[in-house]
């Protein structure tokens, strides 16, 4: 009978590059930057790594189709390396591969890495997903944009819960202002300038009601983790163990596009993945037990809706919690304490691992000026694709035991 992975795998070390417009570095350089911090934190020799996973979303631009760039750039000892891609969940997918390998007993020590080099494409925004998005993209998505698609969540949410445009826009402004305030304190973040709610409300509209400051940018960056068993971690002198409590993945199956019950007001996959993650982690009341979160705030409306899909805010009450400061740095469940996608940045293949990196630092008390008081459980959430067709991952880590 399946028992899950709760407390079967410990994080031995993590590392993260600075995110931003890294014109001076290629994808291989970014991998090295993140790995150097990671291997030093782990306190092992790289020859002790037995297998590795690399997450990237746009291989032709970043690293190519194979996993060789990770093996070559880090001079790994001729071990198996696998490249994985799952839209914006690619970084968490690489972490999942490494964690499952250790939990299964196949390997003792594994590496998960993620990287994306997007600023050298020559144009703004993300490259065309093309065939990677499936045949429906060519048939139905000719005029579809990411801001336009996600903006529809606001209309659907407002209609279902009878929220006015003004209420929604004010809540979204608070979401973005909070992330900007947090990003100021993060030396590795892409955007490090505070922005007021008034500035956000007055910014040019990209896709109603989303304005300029409601949309995350495109960044270059890399992050990685080395994982092992708790027993091996202890034998290597680690006394303050951070272990994996749960990793769950949920993918759309066509329900959102094929049935009228879905009202474009929430993410079906996030609700499913979070329920399974809480069960695996042994969490009964997430609103009380989760200490902090990093969620996929590609757009401020995504973050707002996700609060309910993660079963932290009751349905229809995310706006109230947001405006009450529940998710602020000094709130009950701080969210995007490192700035989130909005301000830390979003190099797609690295984002999931970057989120875990912040939770890891916070749990160990290493987060500097943005350190929270005695966090116990950290949750990360990735969402790749569009509201009507997406990939969702939820990971939970915490202090061992």
What pLDDT is attached to residue 64? 77
Selected catalytic residue, list 180, 190, 311, 346: 346
Selected catalytic residue, list 38, 57, 88, 215: 88
Instruction: Kindly indicate the confidence band of residue 134, based on its pLDDT and cuts at 50, 70 and 90.
Output: low
The whole-chain average pLDDT of the chain stands at 94
Instruction: Kindly indicate the confidence band of residue 62, based on its pLDDT and cuts at 50, 70 and 90.
Output: low
pTM for this model (two decimals):
0.96
Report the percent of the chain where pLDDT is more than 90. 87
Over the range 274-288, which residues count as b (16 or more CB within 10 Å of their CB) and which as e? bbbbbebbebeebee
What pLDDT is attached to residue 88? 95
What pLDDT is attached to residue 239? 93
Residue 210 scores a pLDDT above 90: yes
What pLDDT is attached to residue 51? 98
Residue 391 scores a pLDDT above 80: yes
43: phi then psi, degrees, rounded to nearest 5: 75, 30
What pLDDT is attached to residue 120? 79
How confident is the model over 192-201, as pLDDT tens digits?
999 999 999 9
Residue 133 scores a pLDDT above 70: no
346 is catalytic: yes
88 is catalytic: yes
Residue 163 vs residues 60, 100, 154, 319: alpha-carbon distances, Å: 43, 43, 9, 9
3-state secondary structure of 110: strand
Contact between 64 and 93 under an 8 Å Cβ cutoff? The reply is no
What pLDDT is attached to residue 116? 94
- Please report the DSSP string for 188-230 in residue order: T-S------HHHHHHSPEEETTEEGGGB----BEEEEEEEE-H
What domains are defined for the chain?
A: 10-124+220-242 (3.40.47.10), 139-216+244-399 (3.40.47.10)
């Amino acid at each position: 009978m399946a028992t899950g992975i709760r407390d079967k795998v410990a994080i031995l070390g993590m590392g993260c590059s600075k995110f931003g417009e890294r014109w001076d570095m290629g994808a291989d350089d970014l991998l090295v930057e993140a790995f150097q911090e990671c291997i030093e934190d782990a306190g092992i020799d790289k020859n002790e790594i037995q297998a590795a996973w690399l997450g990237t979303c746009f291989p032709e631009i970043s690293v190519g189709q194979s996993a060789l760039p990770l093996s070559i750039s880090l001079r790994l000892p001729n071990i198996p390396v696998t490249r994985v891609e799952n839209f914006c969940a690619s970084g968490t997918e690489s972490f999942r591969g490494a964690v499952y390998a250790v939990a299964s007993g196949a390997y003792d020590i594994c590496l998960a890495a993620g990287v994306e080099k997007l600023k050298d494409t020559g144009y703004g925004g993300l490259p065309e997903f093309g065939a990677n998005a499936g045949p429906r993209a060519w048939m139905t998505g000719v005029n579809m944009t990411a801001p336009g698609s996600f903006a529809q969540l606001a209309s659907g949410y407002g209609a279902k819960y009878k929220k006015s445009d003004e209420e929604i826009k004010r809540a979204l402004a608070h979401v973005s202002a909070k992330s900007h305030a947090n990003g100021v304190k993060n030396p590795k973040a892409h955007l490090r300038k505070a922005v007021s709610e008034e500035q956000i409300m007055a910014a040019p509209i990209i896709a109603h009601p989303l304005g300029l400051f409601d949309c995350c940018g495109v960044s270059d960056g890399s992050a990685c983790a080395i994982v092992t068993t708790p027993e091996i971690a202890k034998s290597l002198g680690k006394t303050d163990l951070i272990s994996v409590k749960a990793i769950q993945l949920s993918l759309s199956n066509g329900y959102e596009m094929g049935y009228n019950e879905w009202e474009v007001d929430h993410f079906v996959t996030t609700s499913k993945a979070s329920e399974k993650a809480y069960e695996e982690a042994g969490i009964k009341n997430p609103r009380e037990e989760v200490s902090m979160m990093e969620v996929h705030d590609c757009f401020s409306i995504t973050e707002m809706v996700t609060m309910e899909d993660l079963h932290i805010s009751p349905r229809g009450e995310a706006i109230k919690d947001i405006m009450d400061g529940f998710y602020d740095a000094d709130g009950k469940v701080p969210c995007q304490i490192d700035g989130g996608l909005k301000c830390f940045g979003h190099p797609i293949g690295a984002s999931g691992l970057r989120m875990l990196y912040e939770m890891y630092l916070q749990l160990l008390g290493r987060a500097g000026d943005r350190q929270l008081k005695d966090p116990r459980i950290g949750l990360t959430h990735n969402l790749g694709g569009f509201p009507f067709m997406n990939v969702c991952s939820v990971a939970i880590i915490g202090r061992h035991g």
